[in-house]
């Protein structure tokens, strides 16, 4: 469990903004934070990482106190064991892919983790390449792998895929999910993209006027055609979950999320990110096989 209570006076385009955060995050949770530009999302990540000092605050991770301004406790960033990935990758241009990952190793740390991460992120064939020769998607894979070299307990992602095209972005979202599950991370993602948020996150909150709120999420698609017709729309599987004794799949269609009943066969064949067609026969959604 992460307990977060932070205050920081920020400067925004509309004048001073008081960031006042009170938030709890479960161990192993994948939390997405959204909200308008300038609302303090990046500052919140920097406060968690220890890169920016708060005016006052408290951070506890799994019972370990990272920050307590009343008691004068403030652990250094390297002591908090956090993986941090920003938009700009921040790779060392004079180092190869392998060297970028090995540079992140702790003193006397077994370098087998580098081999494991290169295999998971499909970087083995690129290990002798320099960042300038890599595509944006490849560079981001290196940045994600490097952030996990020291096996952090908390992974912070600040819109890491926003500069990539849709196809590469969707593929890297799958990498992030794979890494989150493989290393049993607690992950916090900052993003404006609802498609990305619903695909990756188990919970979503928003920053508004410096405070954490529950955002207004897209509502389910409703149709009123005047007759019991068969309307079919294409969408993307976001999450698959149990629904009592049955199963349900949340599907993103446009900017809307539709909850669709699913069979055990559907569950076996589908994964988050897959494209599906949903039929709305008599206004009742069902998957079209």
Q: What is the pTM of this model?
A: 0.74
Q: Does the pLDDT of residue 22 top 50, yes or no?
A: yes
Question: Phi, psi (5° rounding) for residue 255?
Answer: -105, 15
What mean pLDDT is predicted for residues 26-47? 91
Half-sphere exposure of 148 (CA within 13 A, CB side): 29
Averaged pLDDT of the chain: 86
Which has the higher per-residue pLDDT, 20 or 166? 20
pLDDT band of 172, cuts 50, 70, 90: confident
pLDDT on residue 221 = 40
C-alpha dist (Å) from residue 183 to 99, 180, 244:
22, 6, 29
As a whole number, mean pLDDT of residues 261-289 equals 78
DSSP structure string for the chain:
-EEEEEEEEEEETTEEEEEEEEEEE-TT-EEEEE--TTSSHHHHHHHHHTSS--SEEEEEETTEEEEETTTTEE--GGGS-EEEE-TT----TTS-HHHHHHHTPPTT--THHHHHHHHHTT-GGGTT--GGGS-HHHHHHHHHHHHTTT--SEEEEESTTTTS-HHHHHHHHHHHHHHHHHTT-EEEEE-S-HHHHHHH-SEEEEEETTEEE---PPPPP----SS----EEEEEEEEEEEETTEEEEEEEETTEEEEEEE-HHHHHH--TT-EEEEE-GGG--EEE-
For residue 204, the number of C-alpha atoms closer than 13 Å in the C-beta half-sphere is: 17
Domains and CATH numbers, the chain: 2-213 (3.40.50.300), 232-288 (2.40.50.140)
CA distance 161 to 164: 6
pLDDT at 235 over 90: no
pLDDT the model gives residue 227:
38
Instruction: Count Cβ neighbours within 10 Å for each residue of 44-83 and write b for 16 or more, e otherwise.
Output: bbbbbbbeeebeebbbbbeeeebbbbeeeebbeeeebbbb
**pLDDT value at residue 28:** 93
Give 281's pLDDT tier (boundaries 50, 70, 90).
Answer: low
Is residue 66 pLDDT above 70, yes or no? Answer: yes
Average pLDDT over residues 2-30: 91
What does the pLDDT read at residue 192?
A: 82
CB 68 within 8 A of CB 226: no
Residue 5 phi/psi, 5-degree rounding, is: -135, 110
Q: What is the CA radius of gyration of the chain?
A: 21
Contacts of 187 (CB under 8 A, 6+ apart): 29, 30, 31, 154, 155, 156, 157, 176, 180
- With a cut of 70, say whether residue 219 has pLDDT above it: no
Answer yes or no: is pLDDT of 203 > 50.
Answer: yes
| pLDDT exceeds 60 at position 2 | yes
Is the distance from CB of 164 to CB of 137 less than 8 angstroms? yes
For residue 140, pLDDT over 70 is answered with yes
């Amino acid at each position: 469990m992460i307990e977060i209570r932070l205050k920081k006076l920020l400067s925004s385009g509309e004048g001073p903004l008081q960031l006042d955060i009170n938030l709890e995050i479960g161990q192993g949770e994948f939390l997405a934070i959204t909200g308008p530009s300038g609302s303090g999302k990046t500052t919140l990540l920097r406060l968690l990482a220890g890169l920016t000092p708060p005016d006052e605050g408290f951070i506890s991770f799994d019972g370990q106190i990272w920050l307590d301004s009343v008691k004068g406790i403030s652990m250094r960033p390297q002591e908090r064991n956090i993986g941090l990935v920003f938009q700009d990758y921040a790779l060392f241009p004079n180092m190869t892919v392998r060297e970028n990952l090995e540079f992140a190793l702790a003193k006397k740390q077994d370098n087998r983790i580098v081999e494991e991460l290169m295999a998971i992120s499909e970087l083995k064939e690129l290990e002798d390449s320099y960042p300038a020769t890599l595509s944006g998607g490849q560079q981001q894979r290196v940045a994600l792998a490097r952030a996990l070299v020291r096996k952090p307990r908390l992974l912070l992602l600040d819109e890491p895929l926003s500069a990539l095209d849709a196809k590469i972005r969707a593929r890297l979202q799958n990498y992030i999910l794979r890494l989150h599950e493989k290393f049993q991370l607690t992950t916090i993602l900052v993003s404006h993209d609802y498609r990305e948020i619903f695909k990756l996150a188990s919970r979503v909150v928003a920053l508004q006027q410096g405070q954490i709120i529950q955002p207004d999420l897209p509502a389910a698609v409703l149709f009123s055609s005047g007759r019991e017709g068969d309307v079919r729309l294409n969408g993307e599987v976001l999450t698959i979950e149990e629904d009592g004794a049955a199963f349900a799949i949340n599907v993103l269609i446009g900017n809307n999320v539709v909850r669709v009943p699913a069979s055990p066969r559907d569950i076996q064949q589908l994964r988050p990110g897959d494209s599906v067609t949903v039929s709305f026969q008599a206004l009742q959604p069902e998957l079209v096989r």
